[in-house]
Structure 1
Amino acid sequence: MRIEPGRLRRRTVFAAGGAAALGALLRPGRAIAAPGWYEQAFQSVVAADPNIRAHLTPGQEFWYRPRQLLVAPADLGRVMARLTNLGYVVATGAPFAGVARVMFRVNVDIKAIVDDLRNRANWAASVPVVQPHHVVVGYPNIMGNPGDAPASLAVSVAPATGSTGSGQLVGICDTGIWADATKRHPLWFAGSYAAAPADIDELYQGNSTLALQAGHGTFIAGVLRRTAPSIMFDPAVALTPHGIGDEASVAAALASLNPTVSYVNLSLGCYTMGNVPSLPLANAIASLAPTPSVTPVVVAAAGNAGSARPTWPAALPGVVAVAALRTDALLGQVPTEYSNFGPWVDLCAIGGHQGPYVTGLLAPPDQKPLSFDGFATWHGTSFAVPYAIGRMAKLVTNLGISPQAAAASLCVGPKPYAGYGAIVP
């Protein structure tokens, strides 16, 4: 059967992997269902942001910053010359992560310009390396996502105990950490991180109303600490409290991490124009400076669109991409309907977790506000990532191996579902 790249769906993969019966037992994928209030609210935030543009051709969607073009520095001169010859008024902007930035005086069709610059017929020499400046989002916020908001827990969740993760440090590039995380959850977080003012998650949109993805980084830290209770983490802000950033903000967060991190948690990502790997994200990850004793393992969420289309940075070479599982009463651990998948995915882990969160209100339109008092349950490939890192840390603690060896060990585990990687136990 011929399958169009990027349009492969979950149940096709099960059948291809010899699990057609399993596909029949799973409920239809929520990734193609009508969006719920949470996704609709996020789409409204994106639509109202003048610094976000969307290309929405099905199967080719991506978000990007207007009036910006990113170029490999070696190609900047000839790109600027062609743009000037075509009549555009351009100037160079602030570079980042080893890429040059071209700024247009007025709004232009960035996709059409990139198409022109990538057209082999326009160049006597090699085609220049160019791309839009892509908008990056935290998962669960992505086009086609299942629309899951966190759900409040009426009871507290007890932290785990033990030495798992001792001596290991995780960089979490996300929404940051709640300013009151240690005060509200001392048994979970006391002594586990040191946050500068720039690392704080600005949760609230006035009074006690939470932004759509407020507390995302804090919840990730809780999943991590529940899986590896003695591990330390270094929070860095890459996303707004609504879960929106771009390649520049992620690169800046990566550059700010403690250079001794053993792992980097990236529960975020983007689709790119033409599915071309993100040059700035690749450069930023390659620039993570290893110390003589530590080369960080970068672990990224596969995304929540229920698609085989690669997301970045998860699909970059050398990055461990993690899909999400759920527990079925009859079948045990099975892939979730929302998780992305494909040959670029390395691991799959439980995506639904309970743990420490923040306090405040989420306000669905025309509905009673959702009240949170410090604990929540949340689902997504976002939370499969810290669970996978925690399991790597456990192998390091128990076996005395390196983080790289621990990651490699998990990646060669059982792979019962085609396109979802090895199951993290």
Structure 2
Amino acid sequence: MAIQFIRRQLGARPAGGSDYRPAAKLRVPPELLDRHGGRVLDPVRAEAASGTRPGSTAYRPDVLLIPDDVLRDETALGAVRAVLDGEGIDVEHPEPGGGTTPRPVRLRARNGRDRDNVDSWAALQRLRAAADDPDTGPDRDVVRRITLEHLVFSAVTFTGTPWDTNSLVDRSYRRSPGGSARVPVAIAAAPPARGRLDDERFTRRPVVAVLDSGIGPHPWFDIHDRSTPPPAGGFISVLHEAQERIRENALTTGASPCLMDYWDAPVVSDALIRDVDSNTGHGTFIAGIIRQAAPRADVLAVRVMHSDGIAYGSDVIAALEEIARRVDRAQRYDRPEDMVDVVSLSLGYLDESPDDDVYTSHLAEVVRRLTEQGVLVLAASGNNSTSRRFYPAALADLPDVPGAGPGVISVGALNPNNTKAGFSNDGAWVTCWATGAGVVSTFPTDVRGPRQPEMADSHRAGLDPDDFHGGFAVWDGTSFATPLAAAAVANALIDVAAEDTGLSLADVGPETVVKRAWAALERCYEQYEV
């Protein structure tokens, strides 16, 4: 499989470039919006307090993200409530935590108002308009930090296939009679050897955090069923603190399905037909790519995505913040066992705002915190066949922070013949390319769907397109290019640490981590630069 790193032209493009333009209305299947209580912002009809026409995005219309410090400030929150009260909207006040973490806050209709008329975008415009009056309105800086709760999509897009927003690449990536790109395959291969830690140059395994749909059973990971957690010291571990934060978010918002643990399984399913969602197995597939390409690394799995490919912005932010806290503990108290070296994100969203607004968002802030800590962050460019920026991958546009690690590495997908995949997003903001089409990897062994093979009798059958008991599948998407690039970075961390004792993986001091991250990226440029 191929990997291509593009050396960033530092300072070539400042934040908030001039190529921002609203796009046509985003297309999201109605059943997904209904399941998650979502809505698509229409750029033609949407009002905007700033007068700037927004881009289309998907969001939760009864939720706003409000930072914890604002929720603790009675004066600031009171001013916000006063504006929304005038619109017939009540703000459900969750118990705030510490710091400045954005929390999902539920909006409710008051005085008999139709709940369907509650719209967080309209509420946000009222707040922004009110903040223009310095005498009677809420504080402008407070309002600036209140945002929509975006729906974040898997980078195999909304139906598990890369072509639902671009029919031009329809047939070339369909493999089964039902039109799916994801089908079971068989391979005759043992899991790649993990290597030993008895070499003083290889003192700790680099950890790749995968924020995705969770994990399922597979013999490569010594996870044989869902009755027990992953084995201690194994290839895959989980971050319980992040899962707890996600459960807390779900309790404050109420209506939509919630993620209760790290197991990859349909949240809403009809057991009678053994439903297989569009993104079932997504996280397990990604873990298998890393096992193949960087077997000496470890995977830290965090479930932020529902098996239908939808994640909530607050859950992604919360998981990233928990990783940043874990890295802070590792660096502050010299705890190498807590270190996270790489983050792989095969998800994202199209934002409604001009680029310079996105670059100061809650998501951008926590990603920036990670890169300042020296964590290498890789994100999928998306599968919409567009140059419109897909976040967080497009944060690769941000200039590097002095003294920090490398900025975001955004990853597009290649075909097996090294041409760019027809579904992959592209643009100057894409800084890495890796094979993402026709990829074979691990799949949960207990997944079997309702389809039946075309030919079947008592002795023979055709290929069952959704029976994955064999444990492997072939799939396409920038979702799968991203972990391949993350694996290359993890391998580079091992290599530079082995060559330079001053960059040992056992040393998790902030300065060493940042230097090691830059050295690893430079190694990737040397090996894979185009």
Q: Shorter-chain TM-score: which interval? A: 0.7 to 0.9
Of 97-106 and 216-225, deviating more is 97-106
> Could you tell me which amino acid in structure 2 is paired with residue 281 of structure 1?
L
Contact 2:379 2:393 in 1 (8 A): yes
1:346 aligns with 2:431: yes
Contact 2:42 2:56 in 1 (8 A): yes
C-alpha distance 238-101 of structure 1, shift in aligned 2 (>3 A)? closer
Distance 2:187 2:427 in 1: 37
DSSP 3-state at the match of 1:136: strand
Give the aligned partner of residue 85 of structure 2: 84
Give the aligned partner of residue 320 of structure 1: 409
Contact 2:217 2:224 in 1 (8 A): no
Distance 1:4 1:120 in 2: 29
1:266 aligns with 2:304: no
1:140 aligned residue (144, 156, 168): 156
Contact 2:22 2:55 in 1 (8 A): no
DSSP 3-state at the match of 2:261: helix
Give the aligned partner of residue 38 of structure 1: none
Q: What's the CA shift string for 1:312-346, capped at 9, x where partnerless? A: 22223432211111233xxxx22211111223322
1:131 aligned residue (147, 160, 170): 147
Contact 2:60 2:120 in 1 (8 A): no
DSSP 3-state at the match of 2:482: helix
Contact 1:218 1:356 in 2 (8 A): yes
Q: Higher Cα Rg: structure 1 or 2?
A: 2
1:99 aligned residue (83, 99, 102): 102
- Aligned-pair RMSD on alpha carbons? 3.9
> Could you tell me which amino acid in structure 1 is paired with residue 444 of structure 2?
V
Contact 1:94 1:100 in 2 (8 A): no
DSSP 3-state at the match of 1:273: coil
C-alpha distance 325-76 of structure 1, shift in aligned 2 (>3 A)? farther
Distance 1:180 1:406 in 2: 30
DSSP 3-state at the match of 2:467: strand
Contact 2:207 2:340 in 1 (8 A): yes
C-alpha distance 326-253 of structure 1, shift in aligned 2 (>3 A)? same
Give the aligned partner of residue 213 of structure 2: 175
DSSP 3-state at the match of 1:135: strand
Give the aligned partner of residue 155 of structure 1: 187
Of 205-214 and 345-354, deviating more is 205-214
1:54 is displaced (CA, Å) by 2.1
Contact 2:56 2:350 in 1 (8 A): yes
C-alpha distance 341-169 of structure 1, shift in aligned 2 (>3 A)? same
1:297 aligned residue (363, 376, 381): 376
Distance 2:265 2:157 in 1: 18
> Could you tell me which amino acid in structure 1 is paired with residue 483 of structure 2?
P
Contact 2:152 2:311 in 1 (8 A): yes
Give the aligned partner of residue 60 of structure 1: 55
Distance 1:119 1:311 in 2: 28
> Could you tell me which amino acid in structure 2 is paired with residue 67 of structure 1?
D
Say how many residue pairs are matched. 375
TM-score, normalised relative to structure 1: 0.74
1:406 aligned residue (520, 523, 526): 520
Q: What's the CA shift string for 1:175-223, capped at 9, x where partnerless? A: 111144534789xx99212346932222584274322211111110111
Contact 1:262 1:296 in 2 (8 A): yes
Give the aligned partner of residue 370 of structure 1: 466
> Could you tell me which amino acid in structure 2 is paired with residue 55 of structure 1?
L
Contact 2:162 2:477 in 1 (8 A): no
Identity %: 27
Contact 2:29 2:158 in 1 (8 A): no
Distance 2:261 2:280 in 1: 15
C-alpha distance 120-405 of structure 1, shift in aligned 2 (>3 A)? farther
1:233 is displaced (CA, Å) by 0.9
Contact 2:217 2:444 in 1 (8 A): no
Distance 1:50 1:381 in 2: 24
Q: Which runs of 5+ in 1 are unaligned?
A: 9-31, 36-41, 415-421
Give the aligned partner of residue 244 of structure 1: 310
Distance 1:361 1:115 in 2: 46
1:382 aligns with 2:457: no
2:288 aligned residue (215, 222, 228): 222
C-alpha distance 192-378 of structure 1, shift in aligned 2 (>3 A)? same
Distance 2:427 2:288 in 1: 28
> Could you tell me which amino acid in structure 2 is paired with residue 113 of structure 1?
A
> Could you tell me which amino acid in structure 2 is paired with residue 98 of structure 1?
T
Distance 1:103 1:7 in 2: 28
Structure with higher strand content:
1
1:391 is displaced (CA, Å) by 0.9
Contact 2:216 2:223 in 1 (8 A): no
C-alpha distance 163-377 of structure 1, shift in aligned 2 (>3 A)? same
Give the aligned partner of residue 12 of structure 1: none
C-alpha distance 366-7 of structure 1, shift in aligned 2 (>3 A)? farther
Q: What's the CA shift string for 1:256-311, capped at 9, x where partnerless? A: 44531111111111122225427332343355598xxx732111111111112222
1:109 is displaced (CA, Å) by 2.6
Contact 1:142 1:303 in 2 (8 A): no
Contact 1:348 1:384 in 2 (8 A): yes
> Could you tell me which amino acid in structure 2 is paired with residue 64 of structure 1?
Y
Of 65-74 and 190-199, deviating more is 190-199
Give the aligned partner of residue 419 of structure 2: 334
Distance 1:252 1:146 in 2: 30
Contact 2:222 2:234 in 1 (8 A): no
C-alpha distance 142-410 of structure 1, shift in aligned 2 (>3 A)? farther
Distance 1:346 1:202 in 2: 33
Give the aligned partner of residue 35 of structure 2: 49
1:384 is displaced (CA, Å) by 1.0
Distance 1:103 1:88 in 2: 10
C-alpha distance 103-217 of structure 1, shift in aligned 2 (>3 A)? same
Distance 1:87 1:348 in 2: 49
Give the aligned partner of residue 357 of structure 1: 443
DSSP 3-state at the match of 1:194: strand
1:227 is displaced (CA, Å) by 0.9
1:391 aligns with 2:488: yes
Distance 1:90 1:319 in 2: 35
1:229 is displaced (CA, Å) by 1.2
1:198 aligns with 2:261: yes
> Could you tell me which amino acid in structure 2 is paired with residue 273 of structure 1?
E
